[in-house]
Structure 1
Amino acid sequence: MIGGVMRFRLLWLGMLGLLGVYGLSGCVKANIIFGQNQIDDGLTKIVKIDTLTPVLSTLFVDSVPTSGKGVAMVGGYDDPYFGSVKTRTYFEFAPPPVTNLGIGYYYDSLVLYVVPNKYYYGDTTQPMDFYAEQIASQMLFPPTNYSFYNNDSFAVRSPVLGHVRSVLRPSVVDTVYIRLNDSLGQTFFNLMKNNSPTITNADEFLVYFPGIRISSGYGANPQLVYGYKDSVFMKLWYHTSDLNRSINAMTFKFTQSSYQFMEVQNTPIAPLTKFQRGYSSVVRQIYSTDPDFNHLVYVDPLLGYSAKVEFPYLRNMLLQDTTMRIITKAELILRPLVPSYSTQYLLPPSLVAESTDYSNEPSSTVSTGVLTLDYGTSNTQYTFDITSYLQEQLNDPTSTAYKRGLIIAPSSTYFYSSLNRFVFGDKDYQSQYTSPTYYQSEVILYYVSTKNTL
């Protein structure tokens, strides 16, 4: 496993930095020091420090809201870092407009239409099973909640309404057609033919037919997940018995987007089993230095995992007798463990760094990490500009400044719509594949300071 090592390296702006300090220092006498070497030019002191180290941890929240996000997935896979993952999605449907069906109209079929959105995770050369099952009771929010979460579920009735096995092409928009149980289709047709309020009244229809759950079944994971549009719909096809034999359809459209949600089942493996579950929105935190975590950090937001980067030793700079402290540039570079990602186990297209404190609740976005992707090499990395953030922390005299940090997770665009994940190590992670310095995660800091000697 390729290790990412987190460390600080202090690099200096040569003559440009010196000229800037000359202008600011005036006639103040100071020293120039590089590491242990002191140079006295009568004006400026510049100190090179290479012991400033960030602290890394994995954050976990048991429940992630997935309702009303317009996101739907089906499938599952066995992840070597996160364990078994299985997704399934719940939908409600509205009845079609009232249709007058007299003598001479006959039922043909009831079909569920599922349109993939080109998102996939896993091996797309494998076939995928799509199962449609009827939800047993109407989906209602709990009294104190207005969302459904990744760990929510509703019982379904048996038998299965319909099933199809397909091989999809992610690069094109295929449609999955699932023919549903003819008994259900004929019942819908008869209700419409009799103008029953069970199907002409939307509220009564939801009680009678609470919706459909789409899954990949109950067997082994297919090692594949497909995303699809939330605009799932059913069509009831029927025909006339006249000589023209005209074909017609009634459409049951997806409705109640706030109730549509995705269940994400995760059976974690070590060390993620160490997180306590069943605490809803309580954020749990385990540092990379925990012996079970082996100096690794895990990010997969739909499973509840994000990363935190803290800079508790930054305040040590404040204890130095300096009159000016300027961070001219700071970049946080995170490099994933090379064995952890591939064309099947994809990385998030982008990550964001959001400011936080000891509560571990995200506040404002500090920087967006741009992904440079080069499979199998140390050139794959996320780069964050954290110049302003570190300068603010350096200049903050309060005693709680050291408790702040950055939460690292995918941007809002991908947070709820992707299972792409990210695993990286701290400065002490030891790679079994190559030298730890080859796959470094690091902060590159350009820093200038002056010191009065009057």
Structure 2
Amino acid sequence: MKFQSYSLGKSSIVYKLLIIVGFAFSLAACEWGDEIESLAQPDPDDFAVLSTDTVTIKLSTIGTDSLMTGAASRMLLGTYKDPYFGKVRTMSFFQPTLNGGLSLAQEAEYDSLILSLRYDNSYSYGDTTKPMNLTVHKLLKDITDIPSGSAYWNHNSTPYEPASIGKITIVSRPTTTALLRIRLSDALGKQVFEMAKNNQLTSNADWINLVKGLVVVPAATDNGPIIGFKWNIDSTSVQLHYHTPLVSEFKKDSTIFKVTANYNQTIADPAGTQLAKMPDNTRRSLPSSQSGNMAFMQAGTGIMLRVDLPYLRNLKYTQYTAINKAYLRVKPLRASVTDAFRVPRVLYLYRLDKNNQFYTDGNGAPLPVTLLGTEGGVSSIYFNDLIKNEQYYRFDISSFATEIMVSETNDIGGFIIRSSPFGSSGTFRDAGSEFARSVDRLVVGDQLNADKGVELELYYTKVKPK
């Protein structure tokens, strides 16, 4: 950083600014009741505190190579058609495992083989009044058989048998129903049962040879919701039910194959939408001027909304001007928000350069836009002003604006808007994040859109020269 010396003559502009700073610190150092004997006060006519909301804001949309979705704590299932994002489809691949061997009494008799999924009653997206058609398929490959250090991403897929071993049509009730139970093929169930009776399932390896894993596939023609199901070792399982005839009753029993590995695939087909114009190269953005004066963000598929303030630094060439506060106000496109397609509850800002590469810390984790005077990242909840009938996010980007003003290189870059923080890992930075395990989305009109969605509230002080 370069320092320049200034004359501190009483009539100088710098002197006046220092008086204001000194006045503020003097007040901060005083306790209530203290007496201030003398204080030189500046002439208020020498200063003006101004505001503006006409700063140019450039919006664009960027994609990402992939989102890490392995070992996701929420399994996602469903297909819906979005007027802004196209057809969005999610399916979950997973592996039930056997803890040790399985041996059954010769008197035991088979009942059923059930896939049990526990609803994550905090998450659904889309129209839950429409039916979902789900099929279950056996995987042709062990999903744990991946190179060391690798992971599963949202675009990955594992080959599976085309013929299903189970199917169901439901109208989901994720907030009132605990479990989704899908009966699997009796042919498979009886095969597992007979192998257990014949002591042919002595280890998990024997089970994996028979069932390498499963995938639940939503129908491509569905247009309903995407539903979240909890994934942990106690929530999702395959259950082999059987009973043993006794003299006076039936003794019912079951064996649980608990899921110990999983990943979600979330893909979108943007055909017929503005996002069909997205560049293949993730270092390039889709300007809002080329996408119907709109920019987009969608969790799950990795789409993020980029913001740039290309002309803010011109304010630095206005003599004797200093930024006090800067707030970015973001309003979702009103037509894009419905009961089924809600906006994210909270949004977060992260910095990136002109090539859409994230600025990172020493651990390789992306750097957030920080609050002025702190290291905390900037975020905003979704405000709903019922009196004015306005819905918006409001971000304090004073630190970012100040950096633009003092920069000598004009290489500050911009920032992206996303629906959850990054993780601390530089390699798998989206692992476990809400951005990787949901499909929430946001549509924002630029400053030329009839429903303008962005505005910079800029407050600055200007010293009037003598």
TM-score w.r.t. the length of structure 1 is: 0.81
Cα shift at 1:107: 1.4
Shift of 1:184: 0.9
The residue number in structure 2 matching 1:426 is 446
Q: Tell me the SS of whatever aligns to 2:416.
A: strand
Q: Indicate conservation of the 8 Å contact 1:130/1:165, yes or no.
A: yes
Asked whether the equivalents of residues 350 and 410 of structure 1 are also in contact (C-alpha less than 8 Å), the reply is yes
Please state if 1:202 is matched with 2:197: no
User: Which one of 390, 395, 410 corresponds to residue 401 of structure 2?
Assistant: 390
Counterpart in 1 of 2:459? 446
SS state of the match for residue 390, structure 2? Answer: coil
The structure 2 residue matched to 1:148, chosen from 145, 152, 169, is 152
Tell me what 2:163 maps to.
159
What is the rounded CA distance, in whole Å, between the counterparts of 1:149 and 1:346 in structure 2?
Answer: 25
Instruction: Tell me what 1:414 maps to.
Output: 434
| 8 A Cα contact 2:140 2:159, kept in partner | yes
Structure 2 gaps of 5+ residues are 1-15, 23-42, 359-365, 371-377, 422-432
Aligned-pair CA distance for 1:64:
2.1
- Higher RCO (C-alpha under 8 Å, 6+ residues apart): 1
Note closer, same or farther for the CA distance 1:341–1:232 as it changes in structure 2 (3 Å cut): same
* Pairwise CA distance, 1:283: 4.0
Instruction: Give the match for residue 285 of structure 1.
Output: 285
Q: CA deviation at 1:42?
A: 7.0
Q: Shift of the alpha carbon at 1:270?
A: 2.8
Kept in 2, the 8 Å contact 1:302–1:415? The answer is yes
Superposed CA offset, 1:319-353 (max 9, x none):
2333x62x222211111111111001111111111
- Counterpart residue type for residue 110 of structure 1: L
2:270 counterpart of 1:270: no
CA–CA separation in structure 1 for the residues paired with 2:228 and 2:283: 27
Aligned-partner Cα distance in 2 for 1:375–1:340: 19
- Amino acid paired to 1:222: N
- What 5-or-longer segments of structure 1 have no aligned partner? 1-19, 27-39
Q: Describe the superposition over 1:258-306 as per-residue Cα deviations: whole angstroms up to 9, x where unpaired.
A: xx111123110332111244x6xx443111122xx12110110312211
After superposition, the Cα gap between the structure-2 partners of 1:321 and 1:144, relative to the gap in structure 1 and judged at 3 Å, is farther
Opposite residue 398 of structure 1, the aligned amino acid is T
Q: Report the equivalent of 2:39.
A: none
1:128 aligns with 2:132: yes
Aligned residue type for 2:155: N
Q: Distance in 1 between matches of 2:442 and 2:44?
A: 48
Going from structure 1 to structure 2, the CA distance change for 1:377 and 1:79 (only over 3 Å counts) comes to farther
- Residue aligning to 1:88: 91
Amino acid in the other structure paired with 1:349? R
**1:91 CA drift (Å):** 0.5
> Matched residues in 1 for 2:408 and 2:401: separation?
13
Aligned residues: 400
**AA at the equivalent of 1:125:** T
SS in 1 for 2:285: strand
Structure 1 position 23, deviation (Å): 2.7
Q: Is the contact made by 2:382 and 2:391 (CA closer than 8 Å) also made in structure 1?
A: yes
**Does the 8 Å CA contact 1:117/1:173 hold for their aligned counterparts?**
no
Counting aligned pairs with the same residue, the percent is 28
Q: Which residue of 322, 334, 337 corresponds with 1:338? A: 334
- From 260, 263, 270, the equivalent of 1:261 is 263
8 Å Cα contact 1:141/1:148 also seen in 2: no
One-letter identity of the residue aligned with 1:409: R
Structure 2 residue 231 is matched with structure 1 residue 215? no
Q: Which residue of 1 aligns with 2:115?
A: 112
Aligned in 2, Cα 1:446/1:187: closer, same or farther, shift over 3 Å?
same
Residues in 1 aligned to 2:396 and 2:313: alpha-carbon distance in whole angstroms: 20
CA deviations 1:233-270 (Å, max 9, x no partner) are 011011112223201101000013xxx11112311033
Shift, 1:393, TM fit: 2.4
Q: Is the Cα contact below 8 Å between 2:54 and 2:456 reproduced in 1?
A: no
TM-superposition CA deviations, 1:412-439 (whole Å, max 9, x none): 453122211110111111x2xxxx5xx5
Residue in structure 2 matched with residue 248 of structure 1 by the alignment:
253
SS in 2 for 1:411: coil
Instruction: Measure how far apart 1:105 and its partner are.
Output: 1.3
- Residues in 1 aligned to 2:332 and 2:199: alpha-carbon distance in whole angstroms: 60
Go from structure 1 to structure 2 and tell me whether the alpha carbon gap of 1:374 and 1:69 turns closer, same or farther (over 3 Å shift).
farther
Question: What is the one-letter code of the residue matched to 1:261?
Answer: Y
Helix, strand or coil for the counterpart of 1:312? coil
Counterpart in the other structure of 1:34: none
Structure 2 letter corresponding to 1:212: L
Deviation digits for residues 155-177 of structure 1, max 9, x if unmatched?
22142111122223232243111
Please give the alpha-carbon distance, in whole angstroms, between the structure 2 residues aligned to 1:232 and 1:377.
Answer: 45
Conserved? CA contact 2:94–2:143, under 8 Å: no
- When the two structures are superposed, what TM-score results if normalisation uses the length of structure 2? 0.79
Alpha-carbon distance in 1 for matches of 2:202, 2:341: 46
Q: Hey, what's the Cα distance between the residues in 2 that align with 1:188 and 1:99?
A: 10
SS at match of 2:402: helix
Task: Tell me the SS of whatever aligns to 1:240.
Answer: strand
Distance in 2 between residues matched to 1:376 and 1:160, nearest whole Å: 53
- In 2: Cα distance, 1:377 partner to 1:81 partner: 27
CA RMSD, Structure 1 to Structure 2 (Å): 2.8
- TM-superposed CA distance for 1:137, in Å, is 1.7
Equivalent residues in 2 for 1:31-46 (5 A)? 43-44=46-47
Distance 1:145 1:298, change over 3 A: farther
What is the alpha-carbon distance in structure 2 between the residues aligned to residue 46 and residue 377 of structure 1? 26
For the residue of structure 2 that corresponds to 1:302, the secondary structure is coil
Opposite residue 213 of structure 1, the aligned amino acid is: V
374 and 194 in structure 1: CA distance in 2 versus 1, 3 angstrom threshold: farther
